[in-house]
Structure 1
Amino acid sequence: MNKYWFLKVGLVVVCLCLTLWSEAKVKLPALVSDGMVLQHGQQLAVWGYADPGETISLTFLKKKYTSHADAKGCWKIDLPALKAGGPYTMSINEIQLKDILVGNVWLCSGQSNMELPVARVTDMFRDEISADSDYPMIRQFKVPLRYDFHAPQTDVPGASWKALTPENSMSFSALAYFFAKDLYAKTRIPVGIINSSVGGSPVEAWISEEGLKPFPMYLNEKHIYESDDLIATMRQEEGKKSHAWNVALYRGDAGLHESTPWYAADYDDAAWAQTDMFATEWASNEVGPVNGSHWFRKDIQVSGEQAGQKATLRLGCVVDADSVYVNGTFVGTVSYQYPPRIYSIPANLLKAGKNTITVRLISNGGYPHFVKEKPYKILFGAGQPEKGESEISLEGIWKYRLGTPMPTAPGQTFFQYKPVGLYNGMIAPLVNYAVTGVIWYQGESNVSRRNEYASLLTAMMADWRQNWHQPDMPFYIIELADFLSPDDKGGRAAWAAFRKVQAEVSDQNKNVTLIKNSDLGEWNDIHPLDKKTLGKRVSEAASQERGHNK
């Protein structure tokens, strides 16, 4: 049973208007816009801003509703429960909203595994995504990153509803993409996804100040960052330290300053050591890991048929950053460890015979390495069947030389991870918008504090249910996927213990469903690719338990 009792409160103020609009024209929040999906079967609110006292006239489905802006210029109109359908139009004074659907609206929130876009899972689902991404009855509203430590915000400027089309599909949350497609196939009812997620975010960042009252330490942490001057000063100082570290790295890196740079095609690397790319000897010394720049070069043989073709260089994943050159020409860089390295090699860069691949690897902290069991190869012929598909492996022995050792890079404060900030910036503006329920994929950032996670997540769910005025609002909690090397027994035990906490929260709170996900993990990737199976599991649970297939 949920141990948090809902407080008896009056109506939530629909908007906090700090500015009086100088014109009589109505202004709408970003959520209330062309292409929106309204929740069916529930009373709805449409709200906005105007001059104080302005008459608001709303027409929808041949019915007219009126209201007046209050002394602060805020207004709200309640609509009755609607049947699924559309597209429709809505008029609000001089504004005409088009292409409106009525269906099931889902709030999808959490950290990077929820935010992860379709573009990141194309290795596994490229053919399906290319052939089956035109669903005009599925829409996503992506809430941009925004945090605030002063007060709950009322809007999310710059966001808009986007239909699931081939042009938009790559930016959809991959989990939401497969969930929505499967749910729509079952119900034929429009699906709206509100994607409010931030990579790396802990649960306490998503709870309101009121909801965090049982956790005074987190409230005190929030109070520290209420000072805009402090945040500005910290950013400035951290920026200076980061700049100084990178300047020292550049100055000390011999590979960039010899008469022939180490990435040049004609550089003589005969004196370099040889190492397997997955070896550990190059990454550490008698003291510990060697941070700084590490250079790798590999000669490959390109056939006459492959020469001159456009190609794709796959360099797996690298800890932490890399810059890659082909025959002395820069082809790509990634600045942190998680994204897959997929670089395009332009036509005519590869020649018949010997070619050289050079990697400058930057380690900021921890052990530098190439992640095992990822693709390390050059691919030819993708999308050009007439030329034939082929590949060249990049695994095995490389030539190696240390560019320059560095101390651990200075840290950076991620202010968006501090308590309350994301609630104020990315959840509070949504609470007037009716939803079916919440799909929550988060927890990786709380594994080390798993003993308190049950209380925090329970508090967050109670907080959101209260602010949405939906005491039974369903939550679908995604179990953390399996992760970490089999040799990391301590780490794996911690993740397993966290999954037990997630199950405990599901068992002890009403209308909470745990979605199995541990079996879909990849030991070497915190972002497992199989979001399709996971999306179908959420869809199946939602259809069975909430009756959305009726």
Structure 2
Amino acid sequence: MKKITLFFVALLCTSLAGAKVILPQLFQSGMVIQRGKPVPVWGKADAGETVTIAFNKKEYTAIADAEGKWRIDLPKMKAGGPYTMTIGELTIDNILVGDVWLLSGQSNIDVHIERVYPQYTEEIDNDENTQIRLFRVQNDTDTHGVRDDIRPTSINWKTLNKKNAWPFSAVGYFLGKRMFEKNKVPQGIIVNSWGGTPIEAWISKDSLEKDYPMLVKRVQFFQSDDYVKEQMQANMQAERQWQKMLQDSDPGILYNWTATQYDDSSWQAINQNNWGWRGTGTIWLRQHVNIDKMHAGKPARLLLGTLFDRDVTYLNGQQIGQTGYQYPPRRYDIPEGLLREGDNVITIRFINKYGVVHFLPEKPYLIAFGDDRCSQNPMPKDVIPLSDMWKMQVGAEMPNCPSGDVSLQNIPTTLYNAVLYPLAPYALSGVVWYQGESNTGDPAPYADYLKKLMGSWRSCWQDQQMPFVIVQLANYDGRQQTAFPRPMIPQLMPVNSGWAQLREAQRLVARSDSRAELAVINDLGESVDIHPLRKKEVAERISLCFDRLLYNNKVKLAPEVIASEVNDGKIFLTLDQPIQSGRLYTFEVAGDDGKFMNADATAEGNRVIISSPLASHHSPRIIRYAWKDNPIAANVRSLKGLPMSSFEITINN
């Protein structure tokens, strides 16, 4: 009994001692702090308490204010470490001094290494660097106001290796590596993103309420915690009931449509390239695959491209994988011994709640064998392609699942309040903003939103010189499924593209801000995949922008138009650098009537020469380039291969 009492007394003393100083979640062992700038360290303590920091053989003190808040700014330091910091009774060790980057936005910044691994298998398998640390902000929302701190996270200053990076941002992973190679100093990567979120969710209330009062009123609607809780509970109950009804009524479950011996001869034959099913419920597909003796029994990987929407996939009656939504590539491992010589059956159970069930073209559909079966760059050497033909049968047809939208992460200010504001004033080297897909439906206010976001973040950090790299939207259009061969590239008719309008907003904001740069990636997308996989190349474009912003302003980025004139019926655009010569595509010209027409163009040195298609009685007034959701034909490139941004400019006559 005496030992138990002593134990609880000791535990109580430890708790009391630890309660004197509370640090934000960012301050943990293994952290990276910014070189070359004052480093704020802050937290909470008892009101009036003196807080002492011991770091690098020096001590610093502060007194907690009436609310218990305190802050100490450590002086500028050179890169180095590891160091140990003590703050009262707390100790933080393995601290490095180097560069810290904040990456934020929606899902493309958060696409994990796991997703892109087949593109870079050898590099990821063999990479480890204790000088690069990874921190992932835990998703959270707040409709009431700003918070003091973020939630605890599982990725808290982990060193860079395959295991730690697997669930981490691929862009962040490759950016940390690139900046370490460039500067040879420790790198801290903070990723703070949420898929599908609009820019409004990341902007402060103060920045929005004057010009966009209805956005702020929308937040107020969700400030009733009782309403939000009750609606979420109702949604969960509706989902459980819908799933139970589906499971109980699906004949594919009742009659075991996954079995190899099941007779599917009466099912409808469909071709995956021109098939879709609009309905709510389940649809079942089966394909027979013949496996020869050499491949029978071997472990393999089934690639099913990308599917809409949810699938559960079986091989010879055994479930080998499932994916809960449309975006992830389907890569399902086949265990040793499951494939047999002769007939094998792949069965897909689609579960659909909205839209049209379909396969995405331009993706791999095959069974891969061998040690390189996880690679897709290059593709595995030993593969058995799947057929485009499937047998199809409708399973359970269901009514729509009732629900009320309480996606708080999409409400204005909620992410700024919960996961952005609490990070300040942690010292940073720069910010990456990679977002916009969720705002393409209404791109008109995006430029103003982006200015407000950058302004509110800089105010939050009290640093009006905070560098921003804006990652422009990649090329994407799920409707355009054919990549045209070059040089026979058709001139598609001009369209008023929402994606191009948003890219233009990003371009204009970057151009108007001396502490911002634009990373142009309109050649790194995939026409049918909103989450393109070439994230290493995206990170390299971002790093070039930071090179120019922070280290060498002579670095050349994407070509830009610096002057325009009309002469002898031709339009001459002068660029800031030479470009690759030859015929150019996707230029359009409009006159006073605003109607755009395709125009022929060629490159010579640092000029683009455009033959105006307008009749002689019209003067060219506006010129556009790459003004499409998916400008796959756009080919203006710097001598180093960087693509030019899409644009719309008025011509100087």
TM-score, normalised relative to structure 2: 0.76
Structure 2 match to 1:227: 224
- Asked if 1:367 corresponds to 2:356, the answer is yes
Structure 2 match to 1:78: 73
Distance in structure 2 (CA, Å) of the matches to 1:491 and 1:146: 38
Shift of 1:153: 1.2
Instruction: Say which is worse superposed, 29-38 or 165-174, in terms of deviation.
Output: 165-174
1:357-506 matches, cutoff 5 A: 357-382=346-371, 390-410=382-402, 412-485=405-478, 487=480, 493-506=497-510
1:178 to 171, 174, 179: 174
1:138 to 132, 136, 153: 132
Shift of 1:191: 1.3
- Asked if 1:48 corresponds to 2:43, the answer is yes
- Asked if 1:245 corresponds to 2:242, the answer is yes
Unpaired segments ≥5 residues, structure 2: 1-14, 375-379, 482-492, 555-653
1:195-234 matches, cutoff 5 A: 195-213=191-209, 214-234=211-231
The answer to whether the Cα contact below 8 Å between 1:321 and 1:363 also exists between their aligned partners in 2 is yes
Structure 1 match to 2:484: none
Instruction: Say which is worse superposed, 177-186 or 320-329, in terms of deviation.
Output: 177-186
Unpaired segments ≥5 residues, structure 1: 1-20
Shift of 1:186: 1.0
Q: Which amino acid aligns with 1:307?
A: A
Q: Which amino acid aligns with 2:68?
A: G
Shift of 1:123: 1.9
- Which structure has the larger Rg? 2
Name the structure, 1 or 2, with higher relative contact order (CA <8 Å, separation 6+). 1
- Asked if 1:268 corresponds to 2:270, the answer is no
Q: Which amino acid aligns with 1:477?
A: I
Q: Give the length in aligned residue pairs.
A: 519
Q: Which amino acid aligns with 2:283?
A: H
2:105 to 98, 110, 116: 110
2:22 to 5, 20, 27: 27
Distance in structure 2 (CA, Å) of the matches to 1:318 and 1:424: 35
Structure 2 match to 1:543: 547
Shift of 1:167: 2.4
Shift of 1:476: 0.6
The answer to whether the Cα contact below 8 Å between 2:479 and 2:528 also exists between their aligned partners in 1 is no
Q: Secondary structure, in 3 states, of the residue corresponding to 1:520?
A: coil
Task: Encode CA deviations 1:120-170: one digit per residue, 9 max, x unaligned.
Answer: 111211111112x21211112100101111121112232321111232122
Distance in structure 2 (CA, Å) of the matches to 1:383 and 1:522: 24
Shift of 1:346: 1.4
Shift of 1:441: 0.2
Shift of 1:490: 9.7
Distance in structure 1 (CA, Å) of the matches to 2:509 and 2:395: 49
The answer to whether the Cα contact below 8 Å between 1:122 and 1:129 also exists between their aligned partners in 2 is yes
The answer to whether the Cα contact below 8 Å between 1:187 and 1:549 also exists between their aligned partners in 2 is no
Indicate how the Cα distance of structure 1 residues 464 and 491 shifts in structure 2: closer, same or farther if over 3 A, else same.
Answer: farther
Q: Which amino acid aligns with 1:246?
A: Q
The answer to whether the Cα contact below 8 Å between 2:306 and 2:328 also exists between their aligned partners in 1 is yes
Structure 2 match to 1:3: none
Distance in structure 2 (CA, Å) of the matches to 1:398 and 1:449: 39
Q: Secondary structure, in 3 states, of the residue corresponding to 2:139?
A: coil
Shift of 1:409: 4.1
Structure 2 match to 1:346: 335
Shift of 1:499: 0.8
Structure 2 match to 1:279: 274
Distance in structure 2 (CA, Å) of the matches to 1:415 and 1:220: 14
Distance in structure 2 (CA, Å) of the matches to 1:492 and 1:167: 44
Shift of 1:486: 5.5
Distance in structure 2 (CA, Å) of the matches to 1:227 and 1:486: 41
Indicate how the Cα distance of structure 1 residues 487 and 172 shifts in structure 2: closer, same or farther if over 3 A, else same.
Answer: closer
Shift of 1:390: 2.3
Instruction: Say which is worse superposed, 411-420 or 376-385, in terms of deviation.
Output: 376-385
Structure 2 match to 1:190: 186
The answer to whether the Cα contact below 8 Å between 1:114 and 1:174 also exists between their aligned partners in 2 is yes
Task: Encode CA deviations 1:22-49: one digit per residue, 9 max, x unaligned.
Answer: 5554222111111111111111111122
Percent identity over the alignment is 40
Q: Which amino acid aligns with 2:335?
A: P
Indicate how the Cα distance of structure 1 residues 513 and 384 shifts in structure 2: closer, same or farther if over 3 A, else same.
Answer: closer
Distance in structure 2 (CA, Å) of the matches to 1:234 and 1:78: 44
